[in-house]
Structure 1
Amino acid sequence: MHITERAASLLFAAAIMSVTISAGAAESISPAGPIGGTDIRSALLPPAGNYIAGVAGGIDVERWYTDNGDSISADGHVYFAGAGMLHVYDQTFLSGTLGSTLYLGVQRTCFGIASVSCASGLQDIYSDIFAWSKFNPSQYFSPGSIIPYGTAYWVGLGLNIPTGNYDKDRAPNIGSNFFTVSPNVGITHTFPSLFPKALGEATELSARLFFNYYTENRDTDYQSGYVVSLDFAGTQRSGPWQYGITGTTYQQLTDDKLNGAQVANGGSRAASFSIGPLLAYDFSIDGQPYSLMAKFLTSTWGENTTGVSGLTLRLATQL
């Protein structure tokens, strides 16, 4: 493939290689599933082929949000690293592209209010079992451009598989010990810049909406309530650079249950809103294209969850 085409392919690939950490469940310090794992270009799939990304980051736990949105002091941190893989199929469906992803990672979590406890080990496996993306180019799109002017639509099905390190007598845990099924839809809209040209040639708006269904933890008879989450990003594209704001928010819709009965604190329903800056850079080395991304998110509000600040780094390329 010509290098220009390969570079353009990678620009599409970078977003779906976003992956989330698996920090537990609603019965732990945060909900399980693909919450906060996507940002820019999140509804785009690249041409057929194989892609890989490395991801690493650190999170500082600063507070615990109570059930009425107040906060109390807490202490802890999360460190994580892993690899995500994407396969885009040769076959198409309804004029759209099909793909599947797989993420494997390790994590260390420490958390406490009066005293801090820690756990380390493998995270749960996360997979987009299938993803369908259709890109509709706009009048500004040209095949030679690295900026995909137009609108992309996404439909996918995510699955969190309980393979992570878990002990029912320990808190916190790395794994969740239950499955998370996450149907999701997304959109990425790229158009000529809303701002002066000095700030970039294009503006991109991206969002992915997830419905997270949790099975019961059979070791504890605990059933986490269903959660709706939204990842979003509004960014400027300037040559190989992309920068702007990204964030994630979630709201638990149903009560947590223990042995079939509602738990305390009104069902312990969790909610959160986090936002922060993002910077990405696309480049090539000896003809091999890469995409590097950094984002820093800070919690601004929550209920029955942790308040955190954290940095995530991601490097993606095509195999």
Structure 2
Amino acid sequence: MKNHLLGAAAIVTATAATPALASEGGRTAYPNGAEALTIAALPPPGTYLLNYGYYYTADRLNDDNGNSAGPPDFSVNIVGDIPRFVHVTNLKVLGASVAMQAFVPIINVNVHAGGARQNKFGIGDIIVNPLVLGWQRKNTFFVATMDTFVPTGSYKRTNLANLGNNYWTFQPVLAVTHFNPRGSGPEVSLKLMYDFNTKNRDTNYRSGQAAHVDFAAAYNFNPLTVGITGYYLKQTTDDKVNGARVGVNGNKGEVFALGPLVRYQAGKVPIAFQWQHELSATNRTQGDSFWLKAAFRF
């Protein structure tokens, strides 16, 4: 089960304070596409470090119809390193293994829009998760949990770029993975999430709820795994300011992305690279996500 640490639960980074599209500032707490392979497979009891290198770039900001509508010379670039600390206990609850985890994103956000530019570097909104439940039924694995995004990143309502969202997000998670943990073969993973956001007290803006999914399908040639990965998000409720709906359709966002992934088992350390190209987006930026991930046991 060496590869299991490249999955399960969520990570966090901040996006730029672009114009108010698809949730406040056009951003969501979870960076879509963070997870791909072995999403639902918890490792054996122990303490682990997963390191996520992240790069997101976009020069397009879309409107309700998916057409480019951003300010002149718009671009956003986010570089992050997100250590994830996981402890899997020997406890069992309802037949499930019990784990806990925390994520501490260190990010740099650069935004250029309409001749203005701003860069911010520091710690973003962290995730805490005291209870992760994982089940195994032969070669099928399940995870149920809820991630809490804590508004620890710096935020100012007048900034072009921010490191945090200035509100809490509570995200129930259900994930499933099917693969052979003892040899080569196909693998399929799916991670379902739903976001509930509190109000930003500095702006009285409440970002709408959103349903989203990370997914991957691959073949493990042992030690090399290749496949495809992607994500889909659809906002389900309106954005609101002072209780009133924002815009004509509530600034509801939607995005779909797809791209390749590669994983190599370097001894006991799985190393994975994935790229997801956003094929369509409404009320959001449209760009590309790149990930480089590795897992280590203490």
Give me the TM-score of the superposition, normalised by structure 2: 0.91
Matches of 1:20 and 1:115, distance apart in 2 = 29
Matches of 1:315 and 1:157, distance apart in 2 = 23
| CA distances 1:242-296 after superposition (whole Å, capped 9, x unpaired) | 1110111111101101111111242111111111111111122xxxx21111111
Aligned to 1:160: 149
Once structures 1 and 2 are overlaid, which stretch shifts more, 230-239 or 57-66? 57-66
Matches of 1:178 and 1:33, distance apart in 2 = 13
Matches of 1:128 and 1:291, distance apart in 2 = 23
The Cα of 1:191 is off from its aligned counterpart by 5.8
SS in 1 for 2:104: strand
- Which letter maps to 1:248? Y
Matches of 1:265 and 1:307, distance apart in 2 = 21
**2:191 corresponds to 1:208:** yes
Aligned to 1:141: none
- Larger radius of gyration between Structure 1 and Structure 2: 1
The Cα of 1:49 is off from its aligned counterpart by 0.6
**2:292 corresponds to 1:300:** no
Matches of 2:116 and 2:57, distance apart in 1 = 13
The Cα of 1:72 is off from its aligned counterpart by 4.0
- Which letter maps to 1:305? R
- Which letter maps to 1:201? S
Q: Would the aligned equivalents of 2:46 and 2:89 in 1 still touch at CA under 8 Å?
A: yes
**2:164 corresponds to 1:175:** yes
The Cα of 1:28 is off from its aligned counterpart by 1.6
Aligned to 2:212: 229
Q: Would the aligned equivalents of 2:12 and 2:105 in 1 still touch at CA under 8 Å?
A: no
Q: Would the aligned equivalents of 2:105 and 2:123 in 1 still touch at CA under 8 Å?
A: yes
In the alignment, structure 1 segments of 5+ residues that lack a partner are 1-7, 138-149, 193-199
Matches of 2:12 and 2:187, distance apart in 1 = 21
**2:132 corresponds to 1:127:** no
Once structures 1 and 2 are overlaid, which stretch shifts more, 216-225 or 72-81? 72-81
SS in 2 for 1:71: coil
Aligned to 1:196: none
SS in 2 for 1:267: coil
Matches of 2:222 and 2:90, distance apart in 1 = 29
The Cα of 1:56 is off from its aligned counterpart by 1.4
Once structures 1 and 2 are overlaid, which stretch shifts more, 127-136 or 28-37? 28-37
**2:30 corresponds to 1:30:** no
Matches of 1:127 and 1:230, distance apart in 2 = 20
Over 3 Å counting, the alpha-carbon distance change for 1:127 and 1:35 in structure 2 is farther
Q: Would the aligned equivalents of 2:8 and 2:41 in 1 still touch at CA under 8 Å?
A: yes
The Cα of 1:20 is off from its aligned counterpart by 4.0
Report the RMSD for the aligned CA atoms in angstroms.
2.0
Over 3 Å counting, the alpha-carbon distance change for 1:178 and 1:17 in structure 2 is closer
Q: Would the aligned equivalents of 2:24 and 2:205 in 1 still touch at CA under 8 Å?
A: yes
Over 3 Å counting, the alpha-carbon distance change for 1:126 and 1:22 in structure 2 is farther
Aligned to 2:117: 117
Matches of 2:129 and 2:255, distance apart in 1 = 23
Q: 1:15 pairs with 4, 7, 13, which one?
A: 7
- 1:60-75 equivalences in 2 (<5 Å): 60-72=57-69, 74-75=74-75
Alignment coverage as a number of residue pairs: 288
Over 3 Å counting, the alpha-carbon distance change for 1:201 and 1:48 in structure 2 is closer
In the alignment, structure 2 segments of 5+ residues that lack a partner are 17-21
- Which letter maps to 2:127? Y
SS in 1 for 2:249: helix
The Cα of 1:188 is off from its aligned counterpart by 0.5
